[in-house]
Amino acid sequence: QVQLQQSGPGLVKPSQTLSLTCAISGDSVSSNSVTWHWIRQSPSRGLEWLGRTYYRSKWYNDYAVSVKSRITINPDTSKNQFSLQLNSVTPEDTAVYYCARGIPAGGRYNWFDPWGQGTLVTVSS
Amino acid sequence: DIQMTQSPSSVSASVGDRVTITCRASQGISSWLGWYQQKPGTAPKLLIYASSSLQSGVPSRFSGSGSGTDFTLTITSLQPEDFATYYCQQVNSFPLTFGGGTKVEIK
């Protein structure tokens, strides 16, 4: 059974960097058959996909245009986890952040299963 | 970006009712649509992928249909544990996008 455990601070000051980690059990961040994602949810923006990392003989990343200049998703193979860094945050980045595994099914990837437990991150001074 | 529009935004129903939720994509996405269930304070859970395929462990009272731009999620014989918010998601192209959600409430 795959489980994702998130960790990181719940309060970040404006202009600083939001950093979260997602620890994986029951699967490998280096798996060739899945992808690893960050998604956030807020009342104003709903569910918003932020980006993904995945391994197919080498590492790849894809990011949402809305955050592309500020986001980095990195795998950590030594700890079997992946991380999210979002720079220069503003109050608009306040949201519940989720990590998720993207699974292949029905001919496509990126069906999210499972999800991490979620981390409420508030951007405030 | 592909916009996903769900309707209704909320529905009141009783245990045993049949509930249908619709999701419309702003452009054709073939069958690359999934449905998620989210209960308060918890992460979304995958119910259906590829429009109509039931994820392992999901009760058979949940079903999905549709292709192109119009999709439906049907819950036959609503159970107490089904009161939740449901989201559609397209995986046809990046960025991956979600609908705004449909809250199924107790009548």
pLDDT at residue number A94: 98
With CB atoms and an 8 Å threshold, state whether A49 touches B95. Answer: yes
Q: List all residues 6 or more positions away from B53 whose beta carbon is below 8 Å from its beta carbon.
A: A105, A106, B64
Annotate B45-85 with three-state secondary structure.
EEEEECCCEECCCCCCCEEEEEECCEEEEEECCCCHHHCCE
Summarize pLDDT for A6-47 with one digit per residue, the tens. Answer: 999 999 999 999 999 999 999 999 999 999 999 999 999 999
Portion of chain B with pLDDT greater than 90, in percent: 98
With CB atoms and an 8 Å threshold, state whether A110 touches B91. Answer: yes
Q: End-to-end distance of chain A based on CA atoms, in angstroms?
A: 39
| Measured CA distances, A91 to A48, A66, A97 (Å) | 16, 15, 14
Summarize pLDDT for A38-62 with one digit per residue, the tens. Answer: 999 999 999 999 999 999 999 999 9
Q: Which residues of B touch A (CB under 8 A)?
A: 31-32, 34, 36, 42-46, 49-50, 53, 55, 87, 89, 91, 94-98, 100-101
Cβ atoms of A51 and A98 closer than 8 Å: no
Quick check: A59 contacting B, CB < 8 Å?
A: no
3-state secondary structure of B97: strand
Cα separation, A97 vs A59, whole angstroms: 23
Average pLDDT, chain B: 97
Summarize pLDDT for B53-65 with one digit per residue, the tens. Answer: 999 999 999 999 9
Residue B41, token pair as written in the block = 């304070």
Length of chain B: 107
With CB atoms and an 8 Å threshold, state whether A49 touches B98. Answer: yes
3-state secondary structure of A28: coil
Using a CB-CB cut-off of 8 Å, the residues of chain A touching B100 are 46
Cα separation, A97 vs A119, whole angstroms: 5
Summarize pLDDT for B54-93 with one digit per residue, the tens. Answer: 999 999 999 999 999 999 999 999 999 999 999 999 999 9
Q: B-contacting residues of A 79-108, CB under 8 Å? A: 98, 100, 105-108
Cβ atoms of A125 and A13 closer than 8 Å: yes
